[in-house]
Structure 1
Amino acid sequence: MPVYKAPVEDVTFLLNDVFSIERYNNLPGFAEATPDMVEAILGEGAKLCEEVFAPLNRTGDLEGCTRNPDGSVTTPKGFKEAYEAYASGGWMGLSVPEEYGGQGLPSVLNTIMQEFVSSSNLALGMYPGLTQGAIAALLVHGTQEQKTKYLPKMVEGAWTGTMNLTEPHCGTDLGLLKTKAVPNGDGSYAISGTKIFISAGEHDMAENIVHLVLARIEGAPQGTKGISLFLVPKVLVNEDGSLAERNGVACGSLEHKMGIHGNATCVMNYDGAKGWLVGEANRGLNAMFVMMNEARLAVGVQGLAQSEVAYQNAVAYAKDRLQGRSLTGAKFPDRPADPIIVHPDVRQTLLTVKAINEAARALIVWTGLNSDIAHRSSDEAQRQVADDYMGLLTPVVKGVLTDLGFDNAVKAQQMFGGHGYIEEWGMSQFVRDARIAMIYEGANGIQAMDLVGRKLAKDGGRAIMTFFNEVGAFCQENEGDENLKPFIAPLQQGIGHLQQATMWFMQNAMANPNNAGAGATDYMHLFGLVAMGYMWAKMAKAANAKRAQGNGAADRMDAKLLTGRFFMERLMPETATRLARITTGADVTMAMPMEAF
């Protein structure tokens, strides 16, 4: 049976040594997050995930969800109790303002907890994860009445939340949606239509589900400019907060999926269901984007999470599986063969996954801290920089980390040979579960186009220039440090390639937009490599400093530095390949006649 151990030590190193979380004590909620409290929170979160969530991962995959004749859905055995443990532990409201029942702690702690949850049981973790996204959207765009009426119960975990965008004929192009909203005359609307692929759309773990639904008000403009967002509860709520009668929304069927079997992915039918406008009429995408961006970052975390748990199991197997002898002579002469971890190819595979995981985790923590600054700082300039970074990094975190997460899950599966293809070992589940992260919340090709088509040029390129300047300044400040030379030189080369690619788009994409489309995915991955390389340079600096303190961390820091050097030597050179692909342009790609495919 697969195992999982939450990487608490790695996270505390990032928070305390790499990003110096105490520097943010001027932000609301950070002063309360003392090192001792953070350690206690992460320790308890790790315990919940390792002991409660993880044991249900394989059984949930095998059992799946069941739709009953009355339209209700039963989740796998043990899921309800595990969800209740999560809710009663206060995890849902970890970073939610105290006025709605939350703890008001930094959202970066919730981001870290999302990794632990998603590694231990991705399907189960999606139920509270979607609720947290709905909470975030209501906090920003909900009326005070909506916040007071719904948020405390959602934060408590008694009610969950969903997002309803996709329809049978419309996915990425939401301007095509047909779900309609007709005013009832009392401030509410009658919502009618069908939504598909709705994660956690119906289940037995909470007494109510708060659906956030995109629909078009009768007579509204066509296209995305006529879309509004509505709050549509499964069960209507009385003025005193008690539950009333069932609303006109039901699960029509469950999707039969490749993975995440323990999560109820529903076709939702709205038949005159009563809903209330969230935010302004015809500006629903504005409001929904709060939840979508939260979800996209969370999906990036899921990519890392599946990569991490797959890696842990691959390492355990590689240390145990005996096969052949080391090329330089037997390393375990008392055994009939050496464990496969002695072989260079196995080590390269495992180090590739490890190096990406650690850099990805640092990138996620950095992004989480920027989210806290953007939402909590009183300094307008700080908020602007952090908000710029959030916009720039969201497609990178979502697209790159989920692409790599799937690739790494496959690499980890490969370590098992034929056993990796056998269900009972659990590795195929990590591969199957990781696959969805590349697709939902905007397929990764869309993320790449968002980055190249919208984020680079936004505000005159302010965000990307800030990133160039930050990385350039770091390199300049540290290029005289002999210990950092293996990190600074490759990072400088990588950032140079990213600058060249950016300039190439500026010169060639306006005249022929297909040049941007053809190079977008390579650009996103080039950006991801540079961002992760920057994270490794920062981690290396912190590791050298920690090692010099002589506090017993030398072995751990040596391993970290070796992992970082592997990333710089073996993975960072790919920036040159990505640049070469980008600068070939779109001519050959677009020259093929459609009939010839």
Structure 2
Amino acid sequence: MPKYTPPLRDIHFVIHELLSAEKIFASLPAYKEVDKETLNQIIEEAGKFASEIAFPLNQVGDKEGCVRRDDGSVSTPAGFKEAYAQYVEGGWPSLSCDPEYGGQGLPQLLNTVLYEMLNSANQAWAMYPGLSHGAYECLHAHGTPEQKKLYLDKLVSGLWTGTMCLTEPHCGTDLGMLRTTAHATSDGAYSVTGTKIFISSGEHDLSENIIHLVLARLPDSPKGTKGISLFAVPKFLVNPDGSLGERNRVSCGSLEHKMGIHGNATCVMNFDGALGSLVGEPHKGLSAMFVMMNAARLGVGMQSLGLTEVAYQNSVAYAKDRLQMRSLTGPKEPDKAADPIIVHPDVRRMLLTQRAYSEGARAFAYWVALMIDTELNHPDDDVRKDTADMVTLLTPIVKAFLTDNAFTATNEGLQVFGGHGYIAEWGMEQYVRDARITMIYEGTNTIQSLDLLGRKVLGDMGQKLRKFGKIVEAFIEDEGVRKDMQEFIDPLADLASKVEKLTKEIGMKAMMNHDEVGAAAVPYLRLVGHLVYAYFFARMAKIALTNKASPDSFYQAKLFTARFYFAKLLPETAQLIRAASAGSKTLMAMPADLF
């Protein structure tokens, strides 16, 4: 049986020592009362819920899956409903929500920590409240006063849940092709008709109502993405006083049979003249939905961090216990039949890869969450603009780089377990299966790469990237004089220079041939992802070196991990630069009929 212990020590390190979150909160009027003690107490309680309530249901959910009944209703696995009721009772859905609608008004950073631990514990279960929080954010930003009054307090409390309905059988990423329609009714509502697929949490028994956010076309809509509108379509119609009315004409046509995340109901949803209300302006639905989509992309990053962490924890426990052969430098435990496999260099490579990807992801993702808090709450317009630019630039990297790394980390975990990793009872093969979807949904990682390079970097002539580059440059200038930091500063500076040079090179090529962007995008995103991680590992190494005399072995381990990252993982960037520079010719030269 797998195990999970919330990594509180590293969480505290990132929040308090690396990011100095309390100082940031002191500059934000909404959070000036949030102190270290408050943060730690909430994080500790969140860890208890994740490890004691959600985690024991992870393998149950994978084994049982969801069941669609003849009437179209869906039952979740044993214990899921009860766990969700405890989640609601504990006030967790309202953690970072607006107090005007019953929220606790706490920072997004806390919500991010909560979801890391929930996803380590049970990714499939965590998707139900996770999507609901995204629906809340979308309606909070773009809903009408009437929609906010009807829906937000119920979503904030967790009494109701939410979904986003984008994909159709014939179109996924290319939403300009969608066919779902919406027609105005005589009473000001809209009748929505169409079929959506791959709808996570589309139908279930956890909440008394589900608010579907549905993309559809009005009769007079322009073609393409400029003709898409967004509608709030409830499972049960809502009366003016907030009570539930009759069942709406929306139903689960079937459940998808999936590789992983079996405990989450991934549905084919049929809208047969279902009544809903327009969210935002007509034909501007995609921009409104992007609030939820971007929240979901950051949320998928948290899924990946969670899976990386729990896979690492179980791999380490197994490697310390499993006896196999002798160390190449002589027996380490001669009183036993063999040495534990943690003595073998390649097992250590796999474990340290998992650890580095977990610790790098935590530092990066928490920093982005803290910037979101700053973007939404700082009194200075320029600060809000700068942090908004950083969040815009880094969101596709959080989604794609973290998910790629999570799939690597879970696979490495399975390999550490050997044959036992392939057996369900140990839990590792589930983590591999669950991690694989993260590279696909909420925009495939190739789409994220195109978004980063095409829109976020070349789209503004590198302006946002230069803002991040200045952050890195300032750190290099400050710490470059320290002799004990050279092993981290030198490769960081070298990589920053090469990213700048490569970006200019791709930009010049793209002026002549847009395929150059498509050919370079995926290695380019990983390259910039490594630049971000190198920056954070250098910062973490600085803190560890400063505390090298501390009796706390945590700092020693942090330094070992940073050195491993720079020595064994960062060299991937050389290959990535060559691949991105190689251009599109060898990809596009072969005629399609020769494939």
> 1:136-194 CA distances to partner (integer Å, 9 max, x unpaired)?
00111011221121111111111000000000001000000000000002221000000
- For 1:8 and 1:269, how far apart are their aligned partners in 2? 43
- For 1:277 and 1:516, how far apart are their aligned partners in 2? 36
Query: What letter corresponds to residue 307 of structure 1 in structure 2?
Result: T
Aligned length: 594
Offset, 1:473: 1.3
- For 1:495 and 1:186, how far apart are their aligned partners in 2? 58
Offset, 1:402: 0.3
1:180 equivalent in structure 2: 181
1:292 equivalent in structure 2: 293
User: Residues 250-265 of structure 1: matches in 2 within 5 Å?
Assistant: 250-265=251-266
SS for the counterpart of 2:278 is strand
2:568 equivalent in structure 1: 570
> 1:271-290 CA distances to partner (integer Å, 9 max, x unpaired)?
11111010111000010000
- For 1:31 and 1:432, how far apart are their aligned partners in 2? 42
SS for the counterpart of 2:374 is helix
Bigger Cα displacement from structure 2, 319-328 vs 30-39: 30-39
Offset, 1:30: 2.4
> 1:296-328 CA distances to partner (integer Å, 9 max, x unpaired)?
011011111111111111111000000001111
Bigger Cα displacement from structure 2, 289-298 vs 478-487: 478-487
2:593 equivalent in structure 1: 595
User: Residues 536-555 of structure 1: matches in 2 within 5 Å?
Assistant: 536-547=537-548, 550=550, 552-553=551-552, 555=553
Offset, 1:77: 0.2
- For 2:162 and 2:426, how far apart are their aligned partners in 1? 33
1:344 equivalent in structure 2: 345
Query: What letter corresponds to residue 7 of structure 1 in structure 2?
Result: P
Query: What letter corresponds to residue 12 of structure 2 in structure 1?
Result: T
SS for the counterpart of 1:368 is helix
> 1:192-248 CA distances to partner (integer Å, 9 max, x unpaired)?
000000000000000000000000011211111110000000001111111111111
SS for the counterpart of 2:511 is coil
Bigger Cα displacement from structure 2, 419-428 vs 116-125: 419-428
> 1:509-528 CA distances to partner (integer Å, 9 max, x unpaired)?
11011111111000000000
Offset, 1:544: 2.6
- For 1:537 and 1:187, how far apart are their aligned partners in 2? 57
2:381 equivalent in structure 1: 380
> 1:251-297 CA distances to partner (integer Å, 9 max, x unpaired)?
01000000000000000000111110101110000100000000001
- For 1:545 and 1:153, how far apart are their aligned partners in 2? 48
User: Residues 465-504 of structure 1: matches in 2 within 5 Å?
Assistant: 465-504=466-505
Query: What letter corresponds to residue 5 of structure 1 in structure 2?
Result: T
SS for the counterpart of 2:517 is helix
- Tell me if 1:5 matches 2:14: no
1:559 equivalent in structure 2: 557
- Tell me if 1:422 matches 2:387: no
SS for the counterpart of 1:415 is helix
- For 1:591 and 1:100, how far apart are their aligned partners in 2? 57
- For 2:253 and 2:588, how far apart are their aligned partners in 1? 41
2:164 equivalent in structure 1: 163
1:449 equivalent in structure 2: 450
Offset, 1:571: 1.1
- For 1:510 and 1:4, how far apart are their aligned partners in 2? 50
- For 1:307 and 1:486, how far apart are their aligned partners in 2? 26
- For 2:188 and 2:377, how far apart are their aligned partners in 1? 33
- For 2:81 and 2:502, how far apart are their aligned partners in 1? 49
SS for the counterpart of 2:164 is strand
> 1:522-553 CA distances to partner (integer Å, 9 max, x unpaired)?
000000001011111111222233445x4x42
**Runs of at least 5 residues in structure 2 that lack an aligned partner in the other structure:** none
Contact 1:497 1:575 in 2 (8 A): no
TM-score, normalisation: structure 1: 0.98
SS for the counterpart of 2:272 is strand
SS for the counterpart of 2:379 is coil
- Tell me if 1:137 matches 2:135: no
2:74 equivalent in structure 1: 73
- Tell me if 1:406 matches 2:404: no
1:15 equivalent in structure 2: 15
Offset, 1:414: 0.2
- For 1:266 and 1:304, how far apart are their aligned partners in 2? 25
- Tell me if 1:209 matches 2:210: yes
Query: What letter corresponds to residue 564 of structure 1 in structure 2?
Result: A
- Tell me if 1:62 matches 2:60: no
- For 2:107 and 2:369, how far apart are their aligned partners in 1? 9
1:270 equivalent in structure 2: 271
- For 2:30 and 2:65, how far apart are their aligned partners in 1? 39
Query: What letter corresponds to residue 2 of structure 2 in structure 1?
Result: P
Offset, 1:31: 2.3
SS for the counterpart of 1:122 is helix
2:583 equivalent in structure 1: 585
- Tell me if 1:100 matches 2:101: yes
2:436 equivalent in structure 1: 435
SS for the counterpart of 1:275 is strand
- For 1:295 and 1:439, how far apart are their aligned partners in 2? 12
1:110 equivalent in structure 2: 111
Query: What letter corresponds to residue 562 of structure 1 in structure 2?
Result: F
Contact 1:350 1:412 in 2 (8 A): yes
Offset, 1:460: 3.6
Offset, 1:398: 0.4
- Tell me if 1:322 matches 2:320: no
Offset, 1:22: 1.8
TM-score, normalisation: structure 2: 0.99
Offset, 1:480: 0.9
Bigger Cα displacement from structure 2, 571-580 vs 26-35: 26-35
1:369 equivalent in structure 2: 370
Offset, 1:426: 1.0
Offset, 1:23: 1.7
Contact 1:497 1:576 in 2 (8 A): no
SS for the counterpart of 1:326 is coil
Q: Aligned-residue CA RMSD in angstroms?
A: 1.0
SS for the counterpart of 1:105 is coil
- For 2:143 and 2:540, how far apart are their aligned partners in 1? 40
Query: What letter corresponds to residue 152 of structure 1 in structure 2?
Result: D
Contact 1:494 1:573 in 2 (8 A): no
SS for the counterpart of 2:578 is helix
**Runs of at least 5 residues in structure 1 that lack an aligned partner in the other structure:** none
Query: What letter corresponds to residue 356 of structure 2 in structure 1?
Result: A
Bigger Cα displacement from structure 2, 506-515 vs 117-126: 506-515
- For 1:15 and 1:422, how far apart are their aligned partners in 2? 37
Identity, % of aligned positions: 54
Query: What letter corresponds to residue 348 of structure 1 in structure 2?
Result: R
- For 1:105 and 1:29, how far apart are their aligned partners in 2? 8
Offset, 1:469: 1.2
- For 1:8 and 1:513, how far apart are their aligned partners in 2? 46
